[in-house]
């Protein structure tokens, strides 16, 4: 049986879902800042995603939570 990979895409406008996505068991938890985020909400979504990634890294992230964190 082939090795299956699971990607979970979570809108950057849903910060309440970020931790759930991280703990979901998916191989990749992608916090989307493009297609799922309206233009007028992109700045807030970017700030929310960056805040979450910084917090996750400080609390014991494995470096895979964000590029360049390792």
Handedness of CA 34, 43, 66, 17 (dihedral sign): negative
Any idea which residue has 């964190």 for tokens? 69
Cβ atoms 15, 52 nearer than 8 A: yes
Please determine, for residue 69, whether its predicted confidence score (pLDDT) is greater than 70: no
Domain ranges across the chain: 7-58
CA distance 62 to 64: 5
Residues 7-66 have pLDDT tens digits of 999 999 999 999 999 999 998 899 999 999 999 999 999 999 999 999 888 877 554 555
- Return the pLDDT at 45: 97
**Whether the predicted model's global pTM rises above the 0.75 cut:** yes
* CB 5, CB 21: distance < 8 Å: no
Q: What 3-state class would DSSP assign to 68?
A: coil
Query: At residue 67, does pLDDT exceed 70?
Result: no
């Amino acid at each position: 049986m082939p090795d299956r990979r699971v990607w979970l895409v979570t809108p950057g406008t849903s910060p309440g879902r970020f931790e759930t996505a991280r703990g979901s068991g998916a191989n990749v938890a992608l916090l989307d800042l493009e297609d799922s985020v309206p233009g007028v909400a992109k700045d807030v979504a970017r700030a929310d995603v960056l805040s979450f990634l910084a917090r996750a890294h400080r609390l014991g992230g494995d470096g895979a939570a964000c590029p360049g964190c390792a």
